A and B are shown apart, each in its own frame.
Chain A
Amino acid sequence: MADLRRTKLYDLHLALGAKMVPFAGWEMPVQYPMGVMGEHLHTRAKAGLFDVSHMGQVILRGPDVALALETLVPADIAGLGQSRQRYGVFTNVTGGILDDLMIANKGDHLFLVVNAACVDQDIAHLRKLEALGVSVEPVEGRALLALQGPEAESVLKALVPGVEAMKFMDVAEFDWNGATLWVSRSGYTGEDGYEISIPGERAEDFARALLDHDAVSPIGLGARDSLRLEAGMPLYGHDMDAGVTPAVAALGWSIPKARRLGGTREGGFPGADTVLAELASGPAMTRRGLRPEGRAPIREGVEVFDAAEGGRRIGIVCSGGFGPTVGGPVAMAILPVDLAEGATVYAELRGKRLPVTLTALPFHKPSYKR
């Protein structure tokens, strides 16, 4: 696997028996000997440790950095309290999504986490803010770990006292044996948990200290995908991309009143006219959940029709697979909004049309500590 980057935990992954695969230019663990199903269920039952160091970490500084970032991201960043985190998207001039990201207000700066596949593009995009007096500092040399699951709090507080006081979407810094941790109480699994940025040279020691706990198992990208799918969370490049608007991606919730038509800080981001008009009138299509009636998984790319025979093609599955906690196949597709929840549509699999039920997202209700 030439030219692939390795995280600071690469040796640990191998020692743990991981199967490594190329992912967004990195060599990453897709699963460990426990297997995707076991890892998924373990994370929902106890605590899973994920290496997400491939994701981009970026610091933004400047006198009006929050308002500056609002020129690229239609979220309420100016109103984001100190030590709080929020989800948002970068839009393009046609209102499509360039990437999704987490934004944390750390007092004298903003801390962003962006997708691995989009890091270079995002940083180039963010550099447009330099004209507004913002400095863009890609964070180098820090690993990023996620500890997710109902036992995440009890495990982490034993090593890092104080994290138990954090609520969902809080951010804070802690010391762990001389290493400064940047901790957020968030993640992408639908479970309570934390994401922890740590100096790279301390990452393996810290990961091993977490793994020493009986409740913690290492979890690969395979289960990360099935966990976020059950939680109804979109994955960039699959459920949204530069041709999909926030409303169509079912991410309108990330755009608050203040940034919408008639709001105090209306628009002012790329593609605002398109994005806001669509939010006001409602999109014709949006991302929705599908539960196949049989056992066959319906995966990305499968076409969805409105009839068992003939009829019209109404959408394409953007994410799909087996949901271990649901105990059956689950999928998401961008489909007409006028189809009622509970309606039956048909997925064409290997030449056969299989009935699938339109289902509200998420398939698995998150259990965050609010």
Chain B
Amino acid sequence: MLKYTEDHEWLKQDGDEIIVGITAHASEQLGDVVFIELPEVGREVEAGEEIVVIESVKAASDIVAPVAGVVTAINEALPDAPGAVNDDPLGAWFFRIKPTSVDLSEFMDEAAYNELIG
């Protein structure tokens, strides 16, 4: 079951790690994505820290770490094919993070997220 953040990220729990991407709604708002810069594996991050740069034809924006923890993997293929974020936002994951605490209950479920984006 996916969870969602107010920053329009989707979170998928996989064992003691969380896989992070952005929602279809976010990718539509961004427009065609042309550039992605991912964090380094092993980086310790705070919740809310900007760790991904994502640029569309229109503008640059950031993706934040949804929780505090350590980045354990990044989607190496993504910077070479940034359009995947538009084509398949749920497939185009950005990074895996091993959080300090794996409790995702504070995040929205799909129904709550759909209410947020109206």
A: residues with CB less than 8 A from B are 30-31, 35-38, 40, 222, 226, 295-297, 299, 321-322, 324, 329, 350
Interface string of B72-99 (1 = CB under 8 A from A): 0000000100100010000000000000
Chain B: which residue is nearest A222 at the CB level? B58
Given contacts A222-B31, A295-B79, contact A324 B57 (CB under 8 A): yes
Given contact pairs A35-B31, A296-B37, A322-B34, a sample of 6 additional A-B residue pairs in the complex whose CB atoms are under 8 Å apart: A35-B32, A35-B57, A35-B86, A36-B57, A40-B57, A324-B57
Query: A322 to chain B: which residues have CB within 8 Å?
Result: 34-35, 55, 57
Query: A296 to chain B: which residues have CB within 8 Å?
Result: 35, 37, 53, 55
B: residues with CB less than 8 A from A are 31-32, 34-35, 37, 53, 55-58, 60, 79, 82, 86
Contact B57 A37 (CB under 8 A): yes
Cα of A324 to Cα of B31 in the assembled complex, Å = 13
Query: B32 to chain A: which residues have CB within 8 Å?
Result: 35-38
Query: B55 to chain A: which residues have CB within 8 Å?
Result: 296-297, 322
Contact A36 B53 (CB under 8 A): no
What's the minimum C-beta distance from B110 to chain A, rounded to whole angstroms? 24
Query: A36 to chain B: which residues have CB within 8 Å?
Result: 31-32, 56-58
Query: A30 to chain B: which residues have CB within 8 Å?
Result: 58
Query: B53 to chain A: which residues have CB within 8 Å?
Result: 296, 350
What's the minimum C-beta distance from B55 to chain A, rounded to whole angstroms? 5
Cα of A40 to Cα of B34 in the assembled complex, Å = 14
Contact A299 B31 (CB under 8 A): no
Contact B60 A226 (CB under 8 A): no
Chain B: which residue is nearest A328 at the CB level? B34
Query: B35 to chain A: which residues have CB within 8 Å?
Result: 295-297, 322, 329
Can you list 22 contacts pairing A with B, beta carbon distance less than 8 Å?
A30-B58, A35-B32, A35-B57, A36-B56, A36-B57, A37-B31, A37-B57, A38-B32, A40-B57, A222-B31, A222-B58, A295-B35, A296-B35, A296-B55, A297-B34, A297-B55, A297-B60, A299-B60, A322-B34, A322-B35, A329-B34, A329-B35
Cα of A321 to Cα of B60 in the assembled complex, Å = 10
What's the minimum C-beta distance from A289 to chain B, rounded to whole angstroms? 18
For the complex of A and B, 3 pairs with smallest distance between CB atoms:
A37-B32, A322-B34, A36-B57
Cα of A329 to Cα of B56 in the assembled complex, Å = 11
Query: B79 to chain A: which residues have CB within 8 Å?
Result: 295
Cα of A324 to Cα of B37 in the assembled complex, Å = 19
Contact B57 A321 (CB under 8 A): yes
Chain A: which residue is nearest B36 at the CB level? A295
Chain A: which residue is nearest B86 at the CB level? A35
Query: A35 to chain B: which residues have CB within 8 Å?
Result: 31-32, 57, 86
Query: A299 to chain B: which residues have CB within 8 Å?
Result: 60
What's the minimum C-beta distance from A225 to chain B, rounded to whole angstroms? 9
Contact B57 A222 (CB under 8 A): yes
Cα of A297 to Cα of B53 in the assembled complex, Å = 11
- Which of B34, B56, B58, B86 is close to A295, meaning CB atoms less than 8 Å apart? B34
Cα of A299 to Cα of B81 in the assembled complex, Å = 21
Query: B37 to chain A: which residues have CB within 8 Å?
Result: 296
Cα of A22 to Cα of B93 in the assembled complex, Å = 33
Cα of A155 to Cα of B77 in the assembled complex, Å = 41
Cα of A269 to Cα of B109 in the assembled complex, Å = 66
Cα of A30 to Cα of B60 in the assembled complex, Å = 17
What's the minimum C-beta distance from B38 to chain A, rounded to whole angstroms? 12
